Structure 1
Amino acid sequence: MIADFHFLRPWLLLGLVLPVAVLWLSSRSGDVRNQWKTMIAPHLLDRLIVDVTGGSSIRPSWLLAAILTVGILAAAGPTWEREQPPFVEDTAPLIIAMDLSPTMDAIDVTPSRLERAKLKIHDIIASRNGARTGIIAYAGTAHLVLPLTEDASLIETYTDALATRIMPVPGKDTAKALRLADDMLARESATGTILFITDGVERPAFEAFERNSGSGIVVLGFGTAEGGPVKTPEKGFISEGGNRVLAKLDVEGLQNLHKLTGADVATATADDTDIRWVSQRIRSNFAEKKATEGDRWRDIGWWLVLPVVVALALSFRRGWVVRTGALLLALRLLSPGDVTAAEFTDMWLTPDQQGRLAFERGDFTDAASHFSDPMWRGVSLYRAGKFADAVDAFASVDRAESWYDQGNAFLHLLKFEEAVAAFNKALERRKDWPDAQANLVIAERLLKEQKDKEQEEQQEPNEKPDSVQFDDKGKKGKEGQINIAEQTSEMWMKNLQVSPADLMARKFSLEVEKRKP
């Protein structure tokens, strides 16, 4: 603590010259002999000066110098510890990197390694109380499934859709997944954690883990050392040379990963022990980083206001200053019209601070009415479900984040063409932004489906048929019943064009094609 002590605004310490000057001037003005020695003869001056003793031992000049000294030290900002800045989440962001290599379909744990991992992800999300979480899928390539979001239902929907078949390139490249996760966390103000859910980390990826220093890494292994056959829902058991492929959990490789890189490693358990272990690692990593790499230093100078107030109290004469202040406050309280709580709140908090308090309470409508910052007002309106008003608020700011938020609001308003334009604007201002790229793909797909639907409706025949013929043979048909519910469900399933898994498969394939030279 002593080693970290310093001043946030050390240049203000130059003001310590003032109390020294006050004491020096006071000493000169209080020396009566020095004032009169040029006008009265010394032998007479000694007889005329009366040495007054007693009275108060606290001289006004000393009190003023003390007040100035403490005030200057407070303004210089003494500090020795860090703090988290306002408007930053208290919970660490988490990136979950899901291994979708073929061996994750092994059935040595029921129903399979991948399905068991999905259940564990659900438990992890439930334990994080709405903290921001992102999902990455990787095999031979690494792809963003979901950017960091607080929407637990959305995370669970896309997690349930993960399958090994959606990956465009087979194999396993953990280093690519680590680089993608690092890029996502690099844009975050809070320290994050990367959780790898896998059945092994290949040896060439160890070097990438050793280089990683910005985020904590946690590896949760799935499978058994004895291994099990690999069974996919589409092809059944995978075989090579007539023998079924037997995939084993790389226990030795995970242990070496921990020894060489310091990454936290554990294997999945049948109970919730592994979930509590992961949650503890996330919290420990966040607390450790915040303590050593805090976002800013805490200004302790505010506490020096108390001795200044006490010293100033001694300078009051007969209590007139206090009585005047009390009188003015009493007149306001007794004046016609009630003194509202808002008036007192406005005395101490800015509109943005009041909006932040309402935002934290979950009263987003009230927060939007207070915020003067257009981005915060837009976010509050978005959270309140007032998407059209949110677009108007975001529109006053020409930044990548503003266009991105406008695109999300347009999606809720089913204005897919405007959403595509907004996401493109966001990408113009921030190149290769994964969040905007992912949402742009979704907006373009929805826009295409909307246009295709409108085109089909325009092509429907509106003219009456030239003739109508009846088939008398139909009268001899057998009687039967049609289950309307089953028919409707079947028709709905046929009309469902793209599932989340198919959507991710197409997206990943397009990304691979785009990366090719």
Structure 2
Amino acid sequence: MRWIVFDLLADSINSLALHQLADFHFIRPWWLLAIIPMYLFMRFVIKSEESLSQWKAHMSDTMIYHLAIKEQQKRRFTPKKLFMLFAVIITLVMAGPTWQQQPTPFFTDESVLIIGLDVSATMNKSDVQPSRLLRAKQKINQILEKRGDAKTALIAFSGSAHVAMPITQDKEMIRHFLDVLDSSMMPTTDKVPQSVIPQAKALLTQVKAPSSILLLTDQTNQIAITGFGNLLADTPHQLVVWAIGENPDSGLENSTGLSSSELSSLTQLAQAGNGNMVPFTHNSDDVETVLRSLNNTLQNVDDNSLPWFDAGYLLLFLLIPLQALWFRKGWTMQW
């Protein structure tokens, strides 16, 4: 039982990340006013335990010194001190410390992720094995797995853009169409990223919540930068650009990956669309970065309407081992 309690407390402490400290508050802060009379009461108890002070007017200091119980003979943990510790913990429990809101089944995420996958000829390069296109598909599958049943749409583009899957919550259906996408299926193999704009605009008219366009590509142009900027200007939506290709800062010799100028253009594209550019990594760091960017537009419901998790109840577990001390022989409390 003791280890279960400690595990619960440890999990609770670990969940209190730095970004959640700003949300830390008490649900019932007026209970903290009980600390004032509690402090006065503690002072009274301490004074009452100094029983020899009343004899100073009748005895010499030498006599009092020899009659007094030495400091090391006093019990460090007395029933009165235990009672005061109980009172402090109970006060904190009643105040209701909290730092996170509780999820509720009555509201669902209404934001939409529109994935734009580049299937042009340059995506068949093998600077990232086995190819840029296959690695992009792998990354998309990881995103789908992390997002669960969130609403998602899929657009494939090269010289033209086509909606491979309209907005759906069926990630397995998206995976099915994603697996078969190939450059050979497209009418042309050149790259026109601005062709995604009309398709994305049509999909965004179907959503009411702030949403994201995730563009996986290796190149862009000024027309696309201007077009996406006009599409997303004065909207709550964002464009996240995932640069698929070996990073020029990877340190690999004779790298045939993305150039610094290509990364700079992709960064300009993302900034024009109110978002950010995420470079490709061989581990899952880029996936986590993309997910954090997408979470910027998650909208379940007005935050103020979600209930706060009352963590005060967890403090009650601290009272269990302390309560066992009352069963010690001779432990009574007298005022």
TM-score w.r.t. the length of structure 1 is 0.34
SS, match of residue 111 in structure 2? coil
Q: CA deviation at 1:189?
A: 2.6
One-letter amino acid of the structure 2 residue matched with residue 210 of structure 1: G
Match of 1:252 in 2: 264
Give the partner amino acid of 1:257. L
- Encode CA deviations 1:363-407: one digit per residue, 9 max, x unaligned: xxxxxxxxxxxxxxxxxxxxxxxxxxxxxxxxxxxxxxxxxxxxx
Greater helix share, structure number? 1
- In the alignment, structure 1 residue 166 sits paired with structure 2 residue 185: yes
Does residue 1:278 correspond to 2:290, yes or no?
A: yes
**Which residue of the partner structure matches residue 211 of structure 2?**
192
Shift of 1:169: 2.4
Match of 1:267 in 2: 279
Q: How does 1:332-371 map to 2 (within 5 A)?
A: none
Contact 1:92/1:283 (<8 A) preserved: no
Residue of structure 2 in register with 1:98 after alignment: 117
Q: 1:257 to 1:188 in 2, by over 3 A?
A: closer
Q: 1:133 aligns with which of 152, 156, 178?
A: 152
State the identity as a percent: 29
Q: How does 1:12-411 map to 2 (within 5 A)?
A: 89-211=108-230, 212-213=232-233, 214=235, 215-224=237-246, 248-249=258-259, 250-287=262-299
Q: Measure the CA separation in 2 of the matches of 1:145 and 1:282.
A: 21
- What's the offset of the Cα at 1:130? 1.1
> Amino acid of the residue matched to residue 220 of structure 1?
W
Report the 3-state secondary structure (helix = DSSP H, G, I; strand = E; otherwise coil) of the residue aligned with 2:122: helix
For residue 174 of structure 2, give the secondary structure of its aligned residue in structure 1: helix
Q: Secondary structure at the match of 2:148?
A: coil
- Separation in 1, partners of 2:109, 2:275: 23
C-alpha distance in 2, partners of 1:154/1:171?
27
> Which letter does structure 2 place at the counterpart of 1:221?
A
- 1:418-429 alignment to 2 at 5 Å? none
Aligned residues: 190
TM-score normalized with structure 2 length: 0.52
C-alpha distance in structure 2 between counterparts of 1:167 and 1:247, whole Å: 24
Question: Aligned with 2:165: secondary structure?
Answer: strand
Q: Deviations over 1:52-90 (max 9, x none)?
A: xxxxxxxxxxxxxxxxxxxxxxxxxxxxxxxxxx98632
Contact 1:88–1:190 (CA under 8 A) maintained in structure 2? no
Tell me which amino acid in the other structure corresponds to 1:146. M
Contact map agreement 1:89 1:190 (CA 8 A) in 2 = no
> Contact 1:206 / 1:257 at 8 angstroms: preserved in 2?
yes
Number of the residue aligned with 2:38: none
- Cα deviation for residue 225 of structure 1 reads 5.1
Alignment RMSD, CA only?
Answer: 2.7
Unmatched runs of 5 consecutive residues or more in structure 1: 1-85, 228-245, 299-517
Question: What displacement does 1:209 show?
Answer: 1.8
1:292-328 deviations in whole A, cap 9, x for unaligned? xx9xx97xxxxxxxxxxxxxxxxxxxxxxxxxxxxxx
- The aligned counterpart of 1:380 is none
In 1: Cα distance, 2:158 partner to 2:280 partner: 20
Provide the rounded CA distance (Å) in 1 between the counterparts of 2:289 and 2:132.
19
**Bigger relative contact order (CA 8 A; separation at least 6):** 2
Q: Give the ranges of 4+ consecutive aligned residues of structure 1 lying more than 4 Å apart after TM superposition.
A: 258-261
User: Considering only CA atoms, is the larger Rg found in Structure 1 or Structure 2?
Assistant: 1
Q: Distance in 2 between matches of 1:148 and 1:259?
A: 25
Q: 1:169 to 1:262 in 2, by over 3 A?
A: same
Q: Structure 1 residues 278 and 179, CA, compared in 2 at 3 Å: closer, same or farther?
A: same
Name the aligned partner's letter for residue 219 of structure 1: V
Tell me if the contact between 2:107 and 2:301 (Cα under 8 Å) persists in the aligned partners: no
DSSP-derived class of the 1:195 partner? strand
The residue type paired with residue 117 of structure 2 is M
Supply the distance in 2 between the matched residues of 1:290 and 1:216 (Cα, whole angstroms): 19
Per-residue CA deviation, residues 171-216 of structure 1 (Å, 9 max, x unaligned), is 2222220221121021113222110000122221111121113321
Q: Distance in 2 between matches of 1:286 and 1:195?
A: 14
Change in CA separation of 1:188 and 1:91 when aligned onto 2, cut-off 3 Å: closer
Query: What secondary structure is seen at the aligned counterpart in 1 of 2:298?
Result: helix
Q: Hey, what's the Cα distance between the residues in 2 that align with 1:124 and 1:262?
A: 20
